[in-house]
Amino acid sequence: MEQRKLGNLTTSAIGLGCMGFSQAYGPADDDESIAVIGDALDHGITLIDTAMSYGQGHNERLVGRAIAGRREEVVLATKFGIVRGADGIRLDGRPENVRGYCDASLERLGVDTIDLYYLHRVDPEVPIGETIGAMAELVAAGKVRHLGVSEANPVQLEQAAAVHPIAAVQFEWSLAWREPEDDVVPAARRLGIGLVPYSPLGRGLLTGALPAEPFPEGDFRRADPRFGGEHLAANLELVRALAASAEERGRTPGQMALAWLLAQGDDVVPIPGTRSRTRLAENAAAVGVAVDADAIVPRGAWQGDRTSFAARGTARTK
């Protein structure tokens, strides 16, 4: 598979987002999840993305099992800063806790070093530079190779990069969600920070294969305005147009959407998640496809405000 750079970190052109193996989209089968991760490596997908918060540690343990014996094939990314417990979800970027979170992740993953360690969300009670300073100590200690941040705004990116080189910023970006192009994308490029879009298939919308409404209990799309009522109906019309164009090219709508995102620059490494080995192979085959999807589904046509959804805290599931 094509290789790309996130800062000084070399990885495959697309990665595998693992959140869905442990939360947000309903129950999953661990053995099948491990098989999907193994298939990803077989397809040349090296970037495997997890987080301590996914399933309260379940996801990291699952990934650790999946990559056992294949560590040299993996660019392993995990995240800290979203803490789940009996009292709900909170953010913790306090410097004195960073090393402990990292050590716990290393143990769950069964590895000695994390290739890309993200601050999952900026703690509003802690200046980001202080958190990054503690993360930099992990690099010096050999526990972490590269640093990243997730859902940081341009000012926070500047502050983080002033403390230590930042390899990647992770954020939601897809053909159906374009707002990061106005601020985060240009700021990251100015700072030499690679771009890692999560939900690059629009949380399943852009695959053209959404489950029938209503979404089942445990599926967080139930609360996302893009996936309900008139908004969803309008968005599905756009997906049908995308699917028709894809069929003419012998592609799927998901491949069209991934190819569009990959074409936005060689510093873009999307991390689509899937529980399906068939869908995984489809995603891998999107690398190298040429497409101009803007002409088919223009930016302003999509409906539903992801920002209000995120502001209620629901987006912290990611």
Half-sphere exposure of 39 (CA within 13 A, CB side): 18
54 is catalytic: yes
Pairing of strands 9-12, 3-6: antiparallel
Q: Are 118 and 78 a contacting pair, CB within 8 Å?
A: yes
| Residue 69 in tokens | 């014996």
Q: Are 128 and 120 a contacting pair, CB within 8 Å?
A: no
Q: Are 131 and 102 a contacting pair, CB within 8 Å?
A: no
User: Who's near 124: CB < 8 A, 6+ residues apart?
Assistant: 91
Distance between CA atoms of residues 204 and 22, nearest Å: 16
Distance between CA atoms of residues 188 and 184, nearest Å: 6
Active-site option among 25, 54, 117, 118? 54
- Residues identified as active-site: 54
